[in-house]
Amino acid sequence: MELTPCSIEQFEREGYLFFPGLFRREEIKVLLDEVPRLYAQLRPENVREKGGDAVRTNFAAHMYSYPFAKLARHPRMVKPVMQILGEELYMHQFKINGKMAFDGDLWQWHQDYGTWKNDDLMPEARAMNVAIFLDEVNEFNGPLMFIPGSHKLGVIDAQHDLTTTSYPLWTIDHDTIRKLVERGGIVAPKGPAGSMILFHSCLVHASTSNLSPWNRVSVYLSLCAVSNHIRRFKRPEYIAHRDFTPIRCLPDDCLLTDYDVALPWKDGTPESALKPQLAA
Ligand code: SIN
Ligand code: MN
């Protein structure tokens, strides 16, 4: 999938691109059918909602789940980012966010690059998120909200929020958000399962809790330019990967066809991936 000059211009202006219904129903089924099995596992990669069992985020499934290992190499997700960053990419982070019916908690306003810079010492914002909806996203199940154009401001001051949700994040204060919204407004891309969003790592975003009876499972690939790899391994490897090998894409039919992919963590997470690694 090649982005047109017009899409690239739109991305530069708004900080995101939305592709409703890009993946077919049969392709999404292969992924969604795997999620309950992953969420049921007692693995450190399953981060649960505060005070409950519902999975908020599952990390690194591409290291131990066959369908997700193929998704991590899908040309419809990887190639547009390569085109924008003009370089080979590695997987910085891979997550399946549950935002389960009734239980899915909010995500405070933040920029992903804020966390990647502060925690992982990623040198520049040469990394991007690509999200794919495994469920329909509507106005009731906690859609992702963006402040268009906010990516142009670079890294905005943030505080390390360790309390409001069950996942630590560098979040932006409400006064700043008020000003940013006066300038850029808020959008919340909604669409059927199979829709894809590509967004800049400095784009300010958040999502509310899901009080609806509908799950909002989405997968996020955080792809980083190889030359821009992280310099500090403070977070566990399943959250911030340390293997900077360029991604080799599979053919476009990979979700529905068998291809050989490595599943190095299928028998468990290696001890070394659970801990910080101090600089040599
Ligand atoms: C994120 O910001 O990383 C996730 C937000 C969401 O899934 O709503
Ligand atoms: Mn985020």
Annotate 21-44 with DSSP letters as a single string: T-S-HHHHHHHHTTHHHHHHS--T
Taking CA atoms only, the protein residue closest to ligand 1 atom 3 is: 112
Which one, of 106, 55, 124, 59, lies nearest residue 208 by Cα?
A: 106
Q: What is the pLDDT of residue 51?
A: 84
Structural class in CATH, domain 5-104+123-135+188-200+209-274: mainly beta
- What are the extents of the domains in the chain? 5-104+123-135+188-200+209-274
For ligand 1, which residues put their CB under 6 angstroms from it? Answer: 97, 99, 107, 144, 205, 207, 218, 220
Q: What is the pLDDT of residue 243?
A: 97
Q: How many CA atoms lie within 13 A of 176 on its CB side?
A: 16
Whether the CB-CB separation of 201 and 129 falls below 8 Å is answered with yes
280 CA → ligand 1 middle, Å = 33
- As a dihedral over the C-alpha atoms of residue 275, residue 105, residue 207, residue 153, rounded to 10 degrees, the angle is -40
172 CA → ligand 2 middle, Å = 12
Q: What is the pLDDT of residue 278?
A: 74
Q: What is the pLDDT of residue 258?
A: 98
Q: Which atom of ligand 1 is nearest to the CA of 110?
A: 2
Give the C-alpha separation, 119 to 117, whole Å: 6
Q: Which residues lie closer than 8 Å to 76 by C-beta, 6 or more apart? A: 1, 22, 23, 196, 252
> What is the phi-psi region of residue 3: left when phi exceeds 0, alpha when psi lies from -120 to 50, beta otherwise?
beta
- Residue 113 CA: which ligand is closest? 2
Q: Which residues lie closer than 8 Å to 51 by C-beta, 6 or more apart? A: none
Mean pLDDT by 10 residues, the chain (280 residues): 95 98 98 98 95 95 98 98 98 98 96 94 98 98 98 94 83 96 98 98 98 98 98 96 98 98 96 82
Burial of 114 (0-12, 13-18, 19+ CB in 10 A): buried
Taking CA atoms only, the protein residue closest to ligand 1 atom 1 is: 107
Taking CA atoms only, the protein residue closest to ligand 1 atom 4 is: 107
Q: What is the pLDDT of residue 191?
A: 98
5 CA → ligand 2 middle, Å = 26
Q: What is the pLDDT of residue 167?
A: 79
Predicted structure pTM score: 0.96
Give the C-alpha separation, 110 to 119, whole Å: 14
Which one, of 106, 85, 109, 115, lies nearest residue 200 by Cα?
A: 85
206 CA → ligand 1 middle, Å = 6
Annotate 42-99 with DSSP letters as a single string: --TTEEEPTTSSSEEEEE-GGGT-HHHHHHTT-HHHHHHHHHHHTS-EEEEEEEEE--
